[in-house]
Amino acid sequence: MAKISIRSTSVLTTLALLAIGLLYIVETSKKNVKEAWYTEKIAASRLTQKALLHLKNERFENVDFVDNINDPNETGLIGEQYTPITTGSGSLPIKASTMNPNFGGMIVQLLKDAKLKKGDKVAICMTGSFPGLNVAALAAIQTLGIKPIIISSVTASSWGANDPEFTWVDMEHELFEDKIFTNHSIAASMGGNLDIGRALSGEGRDLVEAAIKRNHLSYIHTGSFEGNIAKRIQLFNQHKNIKAFINIGGGVASNGSDNNGDAIRAGYHETLKLKDFPDKKGVMFEMAKKNIPIIHLKNVEQLMNTFDLPMEPIPLPEIGKGKLYYSLKYQVGIVGTALFFLVGLLLVTIYLDKKQHALGNEIIKTND
């Protein structure tokens, strides 16, 4: 009986070692496989990079770059903490993070999640607070051949596009005029508190109006918050068959309120329930009432965590690196072969165990 027990233990030990060996082979055979829409993501990220560099060169054409403390990657698109058109505090690390050109690839993924295709129309509300994110969105949309209807607000939070002489609408106009992008805003508002520049100085409001005028944009200034929301809806309704709505940043007319903007999870939503909006107002709320899919690009850190984009990277990451582009995947053939051998070993072990058990019973009977 002792010999039988020793032999069984030896077989089980061998089986365990073989199983560990097979598991090791399976794990080490995983390969980086290109994610869906890899080519489009690369193209959008490269276009984002091209556009951001173009804006930097335009802004600093005749002067040396001066702020490598707040803008260590020297993008040239990190604004100041306060200017006459600054509407509130913003996070410098978040603003710096959105200068990563791979945000273009991220937005391609979101647009594809929304099942958007070439020729589809999307309505977009953006602000001056996230010029890097605005550029990434325009690059992704252009790469996929989607048709945007864009309404911007000019003011920006700290560290955004808050240079009165180089606002977001100036940047957008520059990219359009130099044929980097083929689309630009159809209208713009003051932005800020109540979307009418409340809490700005008279000088600040004058500077915003001057920016809208020099870029030849239709000026949304109904005199009231509700009127500015309604005007946006009216402009969007002039375009039939809008397939999605994109909100970029915390523009109050688009979000309806800070409460709404914070309550809605960042990313793509096929549908949003009206009860999810604490305050029942804003362009995004009106789009949700129509069951139009929504891409919400506000709480940026949530997006960065979802898509494994780094916080405030120095230097800026290479295009095409990371979870957006590749994922480690098991090799089906190797997994199947390993499973086949493991099942076979288990069956052989069960057979031998039964055979030994029968032999042991026979020996006991003989001894009796």
In tens digits, the chain (368 residues) has pLDDT values of: 444 455 566 666 776 777 787 677 756 665 778 999 999 999 999 999 999 999 999 887 766 666 789 999 999 999 999 999 999 999 999 999 999 999 999 999 999 999 999 999 999 999 999 999 999 999 999 999 999 999 999 999 999 999 999 999 999 999 999 999 999 999 999 999 999 999 899 999 999 999 999 999 999 999 999 999 999 999 999 999 999 999 999 999 999 999 999 999 999 999 999 999 999 999 999 999 999 999 999 999 999 999 999 999 999 999 999 999 998 765 667 667 767 667 776 776 676 667 666 656 666 666 55
Give the C-alpha separation, 72 to 80, whole Å: 14
For the chain, the straight-line distance linking the first and the last C-alpha, in angstroms and rounded, comes to 14
DSSP-derived secondary structure letter, 156: B
Could you give the count of Cα atoms lying within 13 Å of 40 in the half-sphere of its Cβ? Answer: 19
Give the C-alpha separation, 171 to 94, whole Å: 20
Q: Read out DSSP for 48-106? A: HHHHHHHHHHHHTSSS----TTT-TT--S----S--TTB-S---HHHHHHTT-TTHHHH
Q: What angle do the packed helices 202-214 and 168-177 form, to 10 degrees?
A: 10
Query: pTM value?
Result: 0.84
Long-range own/partner contacts, residues 299-308 (CB < 8 A, 24 or more apart): 299/261, 299/262, 299/265, 299/266, 300/94, 300/97, 300/98, 300/130, 300/133, 300/266, 301/94, 302/265, 302/266, 302/267, 303/106, 303/266, 303/267, 304/97, 306/266, 306/267, 307/106, 307/109
**Residues whose CB is less than 8 angstroms from the CB of residue 117 and which lie 6 or more positions away in sequence, other chains included:** 144, 146
